[in-house]
């Protein structure tokens, strides 16, 4: 497992823990699902969770 997968799983575990606490406090499965979706969307949009590997363009060097 690479570093990207480990970070993604760590972020997702954190999301689930925070959502579980919010869901238990509110005593609602809907709050749990909503917080999970909102936090995941925020972290994906912010670039913390990267579903796909970033593609690096290969530079072609010209011979002079």
pLDDT: is 7 or 63 the higher one? 7
Q: How would you classify residue 47: left for phi > 0, otherwise alpha for psi between -120 and 50, otherwise beta? A: left
Please, which pLDDT band fits residue 60 given cuts at 50, 70 and 90?
A: low
- Point out the least confidently predicted range of 18-22, 36-40, 59-63: 59-63
pLDDT(25) > 90: yes
The residue with tokens 């972020």 is 11
Q: What single DSSP character describes residue 47? A: T
pLDDT(4) > 70: yes
Alpha carbons within 13 angstroms on the beta-carbon side of residue 4 total 8
> Closest Cα partner for 4 from 61, 49, 62?
49
pLDDT(32) > 90: yes
CA distance 48 to 39: 11
């Amino acid at each position: 497992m690479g570093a990207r997968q480990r970070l993604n799983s760590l972020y997702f575990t954190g999301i689930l823990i925070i959502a579980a606490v919010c869901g238990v406090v509110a005593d609602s499965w809907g709050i749990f699902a909503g917080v999970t979706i909102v936090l995941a969307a925020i972290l994906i949009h912010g670039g913390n969770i990267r579903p796909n590997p970033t593609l690096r363009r290969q530079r072609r060097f010209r011979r002079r």
